[in-house]
Copies of this chain bind each other. A is one copy, B any other.
Amino acid sequence: MGLWDVDKIEYVGRTKGPQEGLAFHYYDADRVVAGKKMKDWLRFGVAWWHTFNQELVDPFGTGTAHRPYYKYSDPMDQALAKVDYAFELFTKLGVEYFCFHDRDIAPEGDTLRETNANLDKVVDKIEENMKATGVKLLWNTSSLFTNPRFVSGAATSPFADIYAYAAGQLKKSLEIGKRLGAENYVFWGGREGYENLWNTEMKRETDHIAKFFHMCADYAKEIGFDAQFLIEPKPKEPTLHQYDFDAATAIEFLRSHDLTDVFKLNLEGNHANLAGHTYQHEIRVARENGFLGSLDANQGDKLIGWDMDEFPTDLYETVAVMWEVLQAGSIGPHGGLNFDAKPRRTSFYAEDLFRSHVAGMDSYAAGLLVADKMNRDGFIQDLMAERYSSYDSGIGATIENGTATLASLEEYAIDKPQSELIAATKSDHLESVKATINNYIVDALAEA
């Protein structure tokens, strides 16, 4: 069977009954939906950190994960062995992309130079495997948050030596991205924020990180690395307050620091919830403002206040996400659905890595099928068109075409009685809309 004791995952449709966990019920990679193959809409990616490095620890417990490569005790041996395990897993799942932090794939040395040397050895092996399998790098990134030197930030550290180190680390990471043909490059500022405002010069820190991003953009240009740069917002955790709180905050930062040409956003479902938003909201904000870059597909529990990074199985959420993607035409210019997700700590067998990816892939494939059916029927489009129709002509058109003034609108409205105003205000029948979405889920998936 290879390194993993699991067969290649096959699409079986609905023939094997509801309880089959090691086959695709909805994800049929080459099936054409809305003009593209499913795999081209979804562009699934595996996250190296969770899938290969996550031992399933939590703040009150050590790792529970069973992983076959734990037999390698030397860090470099294990790092190199994982490459083989990784590409076999990609292939068996039929996932065509992966993502990693620099620190995921090779151990640190005492200096950046030594660390970079370790990195190069693993990157060599990854490059070979990419060629051999055709699996591509959706994005890479740099861990500027794990090591204690980053305790108070990297590009927002109050300590210039740390900033300098982070810059050097980033330089290498961009070079690796270039070498491996990364389609995007992600910045998640887990420590870029504050623990306490009383000791924080917020503006100075955000100016520092803006300069950092400009240096990165300059260097990428210099070396001809044309990946799409992406910021990944998160409101808090580990930091009490992170500067990239949510999509709107990140866009504000990009606008006020002349970075809109270079950056788009990588949006994560669980981060949306921690910021008080739905995942659909964050994607809508990014999409409508031209900042949709890529997606970290996972889910949280809205009754829980920390980042759970669960594999996504909530069909309401996958339908909403894929609806937004259908409207956008794609997940950003080069985006994909990276499973920034880990099995639950109680789901710790090696086999559960496959089970959980299958659950996530199927859930997103289902979301695509449902969104496509709603789209073909024009259900949402019709509802919207009718709801906003008063702006298509008459007084509404003067508002949209810029000829209206307060005075012209006052004149229009000043003698309208309350009854006429109330009559102009329509019910949205929201409960029927929600029931209709339920019906679409059943109908689209029953016919899948």
CA distance A255 to B430 in the complex (A): 33
Besides the known contacts A21-B432, A211-B399, A219-B406, 10 further A-B residue pairs in the complex with CB atoms under 8 A apart: A111-B417, A162-B421, A164-B412, A167-B410, A168-B411, A197-B284, A203-B288, A237-B306, A344-B430, A362-B438
A73 interface residue (CB < 8 Å to B) = no
Q: Per a CB cutoff under 8 Å, which of B64, B164, B433 touches A148?
A: B64
Q: Per a CB cutoff under 8 Å, which of B161, B305, B410, B429 touches A416?
A: B161
CA distance A235 to B235 in the complex (A): 14
A134 interface residue (CB < 8 Å to B) = no
Which chain B residues border A273 with CB–CB below 8 Å? 303
A215 interface residue (CB < 8 Å to B) = yes
CA distance A273 to B203 in the complex (A): 21
A422 interface residue (CB < 8 Å to B) = yes
Query: Could you give, for residues 121-165 of chain A, a 1 whenever the CB lies within 8 Å of some chain B CB and a 0 otherwise?
Result: 000000000000000000000000111111110000111111111
**Given A256-B289, A406-B170, residue A352 in contact with residue B421 (CB < 8 A):** no
> 6 tightest A-B contacts by CB?
A305-B305, A160-B396, A21-B432, A446-B446, A18-B439, A168-B410
- Looking at A40-48, A76-84, A240-248, the stretch in contact with chain B turns out to be A240-248
Cross-chain contact B359 with A434 (CB below 8 angstroms):
yes
Cross-chain contact A171 with B245 (CB below 8 angstroms):
no
CA distance A110 to B421 in the complex (A): 10
A288 CB to nearest B CB, Å: 4
Q: Per a CB cutoff under 8 Å, which of B346, B355, B426 touches A432?
A: B355
**Given A171-B410, A415-B113, A442-B442, residue A384 in contact with residue B14 (CB < 8 A):** no
A382 CB to nearest B CB, Å: 9
**Given A405-B219, A425-B159, A431-B352, residue A438 in contact with residue B366 (CB < 8 A):** yes
**Given A352-B429, A433-B199, residue A168 in contact with residue B412 (CB < 8 A):** yes
- Give 26 CB contacts A-B under 8 Å: A19-B436, A21-B431, A25-B435, A59-B59, A59-B237, A112-B413, A113-B414, A160-B391, A161-B421, A164-B395, A164-B404, A167-B406, A168-B412, A171-B407, A171-B409, A198-B380, A199-B433, A236-B304, A240-B301, A274-B305, A302-B303, A313-B435, A315-B438, A344-B428, A349-B429, A351-B429
